[in-house]
A and B are shown apart, each in its own frame.
Chain A
Amino acid sequence: GQNIDQPTEMTATEGAIVQINCTYQTSGFNGLFWYQQHAGEAPTFLSYNVLDGLEEKGRFSSFLSRSKGYSYLLLKELQMKDSASYLCAVREYDSWGKLQFGAGTQVVVTP
């Protein structure tokens, strides 16, 4: 099984950068996902990492270190609409696609 930890809440101002860390323990790693979830809505896919390194996609970047069991999601040039919960999820090897989610990090963007 897995243990996935991420901070409960982070606050940042509009235009700033925020980094959301995620640590995990797994018996067989096969990919890490980041999802964004606005209150009352469905999670939407942001990024996927299976190899070490940085994946950049516009204002969002995600980093993975498999040896450290560590990932982060970097949000740049924050906008008010980025206020949401950010979910870290891990897929285990041979888990047939199911994901184990962390509890989520609530990001609050202030003017």
Chain B
Amino acid sequence: NAGVMQNPRHLVRRRGQEARLRCSPMKGHSHVYWYRQLPEEGLKFMVYLQKENIIDESGMPKERFSAEFPKEGPSILRIQQVVRGDSAAYFCASSTLTENTEAFFGQGTRLTVV
């Protein structure tokens, strides 16, 4: 049973380009969460999705950031017109939604904006 798969592991983009980060949840998990970790800081919640639905996007910046989790395929976090401040590690986690359940994290995508 593969874990949460994220790709790419490392992504370099020039300022103004688009970044697309992919996340495939663990088998049997229908809930996906995206977190951002800035250097020397803790993980910050961005968005929570179920298949074809955004449940909670309270942590998403109002502009340039979007997320989706289509019926088929991985969840995508899209950052348009990247700026240097977007450089961070982006982690995806998945879970079932039952009590006492932990979220399992992927290896993360390290985005560097040059």
Asked if B97 lies at the interface with its beta carbon under 8 angstroms from chain A, I say yes
Which of chain B's residues have a CB closer than 8 A to the CB of A98?
A: 33, 45, 48, 56, 59
Segment of A13-21, A64-72, A100-108 engaged in the interface with chain B = A100-108
Closest 8 pairs (CB-CB, A-B): A103-B42, A42-B105, A45-B102, A101-B43, A101-B42, A98-B45, A43-B105, A42-B107
20 residue pairs from A and B, CB less than 8 Å apart: A31-B100, A42-B91, A42-B107, A42-B108, A43-B105, A45-B103, A87-B42, A87-B43, A96-B55, A97-B33, A97-B48, A97-B97, A97-B101, A98-B33, A98-B56, A99-B45, A101-B35, A101-B42, A101-B44, A103-B41
**Residues in chain A within 8 A of chain B (CB atoms):** 31, 33, 35, 41-45, 48, 50, 87, 89, 95-104
**Residues in chain B within 8 A of chain A (CB atoms):** 4, 31, 33, 35, 41-45, 48, 55-56, 59, 91, 95, 97, 99-108
